[in-house]
Structure 1
Amino acid sequence: MKAWWQRHCDGILQQLPADRLLALDLFRGITITAMILVNNPGSWVHIYAPLRHAEWHGWTPTDLIFPFFIYIVGVSMQLSLSKQQRSRPAQLLSGSLRSLKLIALGLMLALAYYNLRDPNFDWVEQRLLVLRYPGVLQRIGVVYFISLLLVLVLAWRGRLLSALLLCGVYLLAMFGLTYQDDAGNSYRGLLEYGNNFAAWLDHRLLGPNHLLYRSATPFSFDPEGLWSTLPAISSCLAGVLTAQYLQQPGALTSKIKTLLLFGVAAVLLAELWHGWLPINKALWTPSFVLLSTGYAWLVLALSLWLCDIRGYRRWTAPFVVFGANAILFFVAAGLVARLLGMIPIGTTVLQPWLYRSWFQPFFGNELGSLMFALCFLLLAYLAMYGCYRKGWIWKV
């Protein structure tokens, strides 16, 4: 068994291009694996605390997953652009198409549901006309495009200044602009659930029916909403700047130490800042940007040390499989999860039936929910490995 697993992992790594940064593939693979794990529990009621999002202010490990992915988008963007020989207009056109594809995929996922148990279900009325506009892929698409624009026209100082200015403009509006509810009550400077400038903007421009938290009061809002996209761009630019630093001449061990130092400093500063500006993933506050970027530096530094300094490469292979097809993995997992929530089984649907019939009786509530997610990942790995082995890499 051990010999088979070693051959399996070696075969995966041998397919990687020679100039591929394995540490980044590892980081991306771990991130998308964690994203699918937390998105597919056996029961949304029975989840271990670290696998939940923070209810509002504060953070859990789950809250770091999405900003990690945004950060990795920035790292990958810089590494890709530095290898390309195309003109800026060509790069911009390619980036625009990629952004539109990501947004379209996100909207497709939002629409991919039909209630097979309800003969009166009206897909147009109950799905299309109340389509949630924001989403994970939609935010990645928007952040990618705006970051690409900035990267194409600015040098590193301009990119750093843009990241800081975006956070500054975000804070000026959140604390400085006055807004009103439907009853005429005025507010300013709040960071409450359903009552902050970002929520007000989502509520007014997108409409309550097209947001995730449509029942929030006094304003419906979305965690991937409009105004919080500004600091999310800063998270992406942090990845761009990191890649630029890694591309500079110098010893890798020295760069790893710098990433570790900056990572620890950023996390500590974010926690100190939390007392004045709460760390909040749904609002993507600048303190959250600092915290998640700090941890991203630490994870990337650890990945570089393990893969490139210590040479521990074989164990990374399963994550390389997931990371190589991250968008396909995310979209396919989302579609399968929706199917599990649509197929009727008696008085329920397939996903909760599987959990209650097989996983909960054998493992209990929380552990059974986790085991369901792990089995989902195992089956997904078999499918993604088949794609990887045949060279089917879906590039959006």
Structure 2
Amino acid sequence: MKNRFYSLDVFRGATVAFMILVNNPGTWSAIFPPLDHAPWHGCTPTDLVFPFFLFAVGNAMAFVMPRLHEAGDKAFWKKVTVRTLLILAIGIFLNWSPFVRWENDVLVFKHWVNPDNRLNGIRITGVLQRIALCYFFASVIIYYTKPKVAAIIGAVLLLVYWVLAYTLGDAADPYSMAGYFGNTIDQAVLGVPHLYKGEKILFDPEGLAGVLSATVEVIVGYLAGKFIIQRGKTFEMVTTLLLAGCVLVFTGYCWDMVFPINKKIWTSSYTLYTSGLAIITICFLLYWIELKGKPAKGLKFFEVFGKNPLFIFVLSGFLPRVLGLLRWPSGTGSDGKQLYTSAFPWFYEHICKPLSSNLKIGSLIYAIITVLFYWMLAYWLDRRKIYIKV
């Protein structure tokens, strides 16, 4: 197919594969630094996964949006609204699943708000929820404006987010976890019981305010995809796009001096920096695959993930939780209490961990095997032409 860009499929699939890799270590206490998130300011390879996925969402829009324009406003709103609500629902379902948990050797229901502790409940936000919101707002902007206007709106959103973060945050340190202005918004809109409790303070890394900046990641992905389609498989297209990516990375670095690159609050500098790196990565794939025509047999591994990206990602989060309910005794703790294990933890402890005295190696081997496991499922679906679209 003339308009088929295999490199974009590889980019999307590789992003999903890396997302599964970094989300499934054998143990969170033994991770190689590049496979862990930056503690606060800064950016590791792991911090590129989520923005690259949003960028890929924008890329896909460049191919879909012309058909939505032809179908008209009614069809557009129906598709975008249904897809947004569906992804939101799946995200909350994933947070709530498997709806029961072990407590004192008894399975108890996971309440929306814990009746025994009203400050705890089911988290509303998450990766899928942010994808849904960014997809929705970016779709509306892209559908109703021309590309140049969409780019201007994106720039304005980044500037507005910076102003809000600086003026509404704690004057002493507006870009700190405690001083971030989005905390107040999340607590007021979502409620304390439904926020992330994994940090030392009440802070949600996928909070509502960050959607403002993260949406621009999708817009940039769309603009890049549209440019690729319009210019076709030419050396000029790749070099021009590569220059644009370098400019975004450089701009992000410059902005970092006053608005630090930070994934957890998704700063504007982070959006530009990661968008630029996504463009640069795609340019190398375009050059190697589309222009040079190099054999892509090894890259087919990633293409399989790209066929059912959201489904495989959801499954990688859902399956361990369900299997975790099927547990068995594994000795006693220092306090004399009975310990239990389940399928995935047992596999790490008894198969992967003993492979090396370096716990990080065993943890990484477990993560790689996990990726291969989900690849086999994705491959099975692809062989049977089963594509679960959301």
Calculate the TM-score normalised by the size of structure 2: 0.90
For the pair 1:89 / 2:82, whether they are aligned, the reply is: no
Taking the aligned partners of 2:44 and 2:87, their CA distance within structure 1 comes to 27
Identify which of 367, 384, 394 aligns with 2:388: 394
The one-character-per-residue Cα deviations of 1:288-321 (angstroms, maximum 9, x if unpaired) are: 0011001001111011111101212222211111
Inter-partner Cα distance in structure 2 for 1:71 and 1:267: 15
- In structure 2, the partner of 1:99 is 84
Does the Cα contact within 8 Å between 2:92 and 2:124 map onto a contact in 1?
Answer: yes
User: For residues 143 and 320 of structure 1, what CA distance do their matches in structure 2 show?
Assistant: 24
Determine the C-alpha separation between the residues in 2 that align with 1:115 and 1:127: 14
Counterpart AA for 2:325: M
Report what 1:338 is aligned to.
321
C-alpha distance in 1 between matches for 2:62 and 2:341: 44
C-alpha separation in 2, matches of 1:243 and 1:199: 34
Deviation of the 1:379 alpha carbon: 1.5
The alpha carbon displacement at 1:212 in A equals: 1.4
Alpha-carbon deviation of 1:106? Answer: 0.4
Once the two structures are TM-superposed, the CA of residue 116 in structure 1 deviates from its matched residue by 3.7
Q: Percent identity?
A: 31
Q: Map 1:375-394 onto structure 2 (within 5 A).
A: 375-394=369-388
Partner residue, 1:27: 11
- AA aligned to 2:349 is R
Following TM superposition, by how much is the alpha carbon of 1:27 offset from its aligned partner in structure 2, in angstroms? 0.3
Q: 1:360 to 1:214 in 2, by over 3 A?
A: closer
Q: How do residues 211-222 of structure 1 correspond to structure 2 at under 5 angstroms?
A: 211-213=195-197, 216-217=200-201, 220-222=202-204
CA distance in structure 1 between the aligned counterparts of 2:163 and 2:225, rounded to whole angstroms: 29
Where does 1:100-139 land on structure 2 (aligned, <5 Å)?
100-113=85-98, 114-116=100-102, 118-125=104-111, 130-139=121-130
1:63 to 42, 47, 60: 47
CA distance in 1, matches of 2:53, 2:369: 23
CA distance in 1 between counterparts of 2:40 and 2:129 reads 22
2:145 is aligned to: 154
- Deviation of 1:250 after TM superposition, in Å, equals 6.1
Measured in 1, the distance between the counterparts of 2:380 and 2:212 equals 38
Who is 2:347 aligned against? 354
Q: Counterpart of 1:253 in structure 2: which amino acid?
A: F
Instruction: Write out per-residue CA displacement over residues 180-217 of structure 1, whole angstroms, 9 at most, x where no aligned residue.
Output: xxxxxx75761111321012211232222211136644
Q: Which residue of 1 aligns with 2:332?
A: none
Contact 2:162–2:259, Cα closer than 8 Å, also in 1:
no
Q: Is the 8 A contact 1:23 1:303 kept in 2?
A: yes
The 3 A distance-change label for structure 1 pair 55 and 341 is farther
Could you tell me how far apart the structure 1 residues matched to 2:166 and 2:172 are? 6
Moved more, 192-201 or 385-394: 192-201
Residue aligning to 2:228:
246
TM-superposed deviation, 1:268: 2.6
- Where does residue 310 of structure 2 map in the other structure? 327
Change (3 A) 1:55 1:249: closer
Matched, 1:295 2:287: no
Retained in 2: the 8 A contact 1:57–1:280?
yes
The count of residues paired between Structure 1 and Structure 2 equals: 371
Q: CA deviation at 1:137?
A: 0.8
Measured on the aligned residues, the alpha-carbon RMSD in Å equals 2.0
Could you say if the C-alpha distance between residues 249 and 299 of structure 1 is closer, same or farther in structure 2, counting changes exceeding 3 Å? Answer: closer
Q: Determine if the alignment matches structure 1 residue 173 to structure 2 residue 155.
A: no
Structure 2 runs not aligned, ≥5 long: 115-119, 330-338
Letter in 2 for 1:353: W
SS in 1 for 2:264: coil
Counterpart pick for 2:191 among 198, 207, 210: 207
Among 19, 35, 40, the residue aligned to 1:51: 35
Give structure 1 stretches of 5+ with no counterpart: 1-16, 179-185
Q: Distance in 2 between matches of 1:371 and 1:250?
A: 40
User: What corresponds to 1:370 in structure 2?
Assistant: 364
Q: Which amino acid aligns with 1:307?
A: I
Cα contact 1:342–1:349 (8 A) shared by 2: no
Name the stretch that deviates more: 79-88 or 162-171: 79-88
Encode CA deviations 1:108-137: one digit per residue, 9 max, x unaligned: 100113324634453233877711111111
Range 32-41 or range 237-246, more displaced: 237-246
Amino acid at match of 1:124: K
Q: Retained in 2: the 8 A contact 1:194–1:216? A: no
Matched-pair contact (CA < 8 Å) for 1:70–1:140 = yes
Where in structure 2 are the equivalents of 1:74-85 lying within 5 Å? Answer: 74-84=58-68, 85=70
- Give 3-state SS (helix, strand or coil) of 2:27's partner: coil
Runs of 4+ in 1 over 4 A off after TM superposition: 126-129, 186-189
Matched, 1:142 2:124: no
Cα offset for 1:41? 0.8
- Corresponding residue of 1:276: 258
